[in-house]
Amino acid sequence: MPVFAYKGLNSAGRNVSGMLDADNERHAKQLLRRDGIYPTSLKETAGGGSSGGKGGAAGAASDLRSSMQRVSTQDLAVATRQLATLVHAGIPLVDSLAALVDQTENVKLKSILGVVKQDINEGASFADALTKHPKVFNSLYINMIRAGEQSGALDIVLSRLADFTESQNQLKNKVVSTLVYPVIMLVVSAIVVGILFVFVIPKITKIFEAQKVALPFLTQALIFVATAASQYWWLCIMVVAALVWAFNKYINSKSGRVKWDAFILKVPVIGPLLRMLAVSRFTRTLATLMSSGVPLLASFDIVKNVVGNTILKEAIEHAREGVKEGESIAAPLKRSGQFPPIVTHMIATGEKTGQLEEMLTNIATSYETQVDAKVMALTSIMEPIIIVMLGGVVACVVFAIIMPMVQLSSFAG
């Protein structure tokens, strides 16, 4: 909460000064007048003591934590669920937000919710107050809140938002958790191989160089790699960094992003998995928006940004134009060739039967289950592949060392 330094006159006409916490300048003046103080000077400070005994160091530390801390999807899901419960219980929105500010442990989210409460007190709508914080509340969140306010069903929309945010967070956590072990194995393998090439192999190769014998090609290649890794490691790092920078610049360009997204969708195993994940996001988000009362065209403007692939995004944009011209949703999606036939067929069936939202939810649930199963299968396959690759590298190193040793033994014999 902001801290204000004030000077003024009390009811006895004496000069007084001090510090106090308030939501804004107007709130600070109200608090002073309530205490019988008429302010002549009022300035917000970066830190400092407060009426509650909060010191300048503590205030500065709180500001630092707020700037450094991020609001995770889990934090937002918990806060949304709590707010939905409070609003459903009939507690006014401002009072619900005040309770949420006291309850929330995330310093940054606590600060943002305090500002949102302040804006609502000053006459802004809930959705308009959220638009000032786009890094925490995305367009999907804001549009659903706006629809809930307009329809008078804010508590229901908040519950749906909480369900949606929690489901997306659970899917993300499943994917991340299943990939942790393979990533750890890759990192450990890279460290082991690096130690071999930088510290162990150079010492062994000195023995071979001292004998001045013709070395096998595999041994020569190993010595070359080990020498480059030990003596020119800084150049290797610079080359890798340059390649990473060039790749990032390429895929962040408009043409590069389109080509990369088209390529990644065609990669065996990875491409189908990413397509399924994008379809599940598209259908789940569209179902949530439509059930919350967000207009269809506005919903399409939002969902095209959640698929994470420009090729699929273009297909959704074309579908939006088709719907705008009076077409069904399924027809342009089918023409794009980017959505599986079963998906377009189920959407068409949902449109004909008037159960589109339910059908979209069923598609999302089915694909989320398939994504979970495929990620688990991919993880189980990656483990033996990594072990075999590491074993192959170790075998090459062993053969490269043993072969010249055998030659030396034969010469000695």
> Quick one: pLDDT band at residue 411, thresholds 50, 70, 90?
low
> 233 with 199: CB under 8 angstroms?
no
Label residue 378 exposed, middle or buried (CB < 10 Å: 0-12, 13-18, 19+).
Answer: middle
Model pTM?
A: 0.62
Please compute, for residue 316, the number of CA atoms within 13 A of its CA located in the half-sphere on the CB side: 25
Which of 270, 246, 267 has its CA nearest to residue 256?
Answer: 246
Residues 238, 316: Cα–Cα separation, whole Å: 40
pLDDT for position 49:
40
Q: Is the pLDDT of residue 234 over 90?
A: no
CA–chain centroid gap for 151, Å, is 30
Q: How many Å apart are CA 165 and CA 169, to the nearest integer?
A: 6
Instruction: Look up residue 272 and give its amino acid.
Output: P
Helix (H/G/I), strand (E/B), else coil: 204? helix
How much is the average pLDDT of 20-38? 78
Radius of gyration of the chain (CA): 31
Q: Alpha-carbon distance 406 to 208, whole Å?
A: 11
Comparing 62-76, 127-141, 170-184, 276-290, the range with the smallest average pLDDT is 62-76
CA distance 30 to 182: 59
**Residue 197's pLDDT is what?**
73
Distance CA 11, CA 13 (A): 5
From 75, 131, 67, 126, select the one nearest 104 (Cα to Cα): 75
pLDDT band for position 45 (cuts 50, 70, 90): low
What are 19's strand-pairing partners? 5
According to the per-residue pLDDT averaged within each range, which of 19-33, 155-169, 183-197 is highest? 155-169
What are the chain's domains? 3-67 (no CATH), 70-137 (1.20.81.30), 154-413 (1.20.81.30)
In whole angstroms, what is the distance from residue 401 CA to residue 404 CA?
Answer: 6
Instruction: Please give the DSSP secondary-structure letter assigned to residue 180.
Output: H
Tokens of 352: 């004909």
Q: Which two tokens stand for residue 158?
A: 């908040």
Residue 70: CA atoms inside 13 Å, Cβ hemisphere, count?
4
Local confidence band at 394 (pLDDT 50, 70, 90 cut-offs): confident
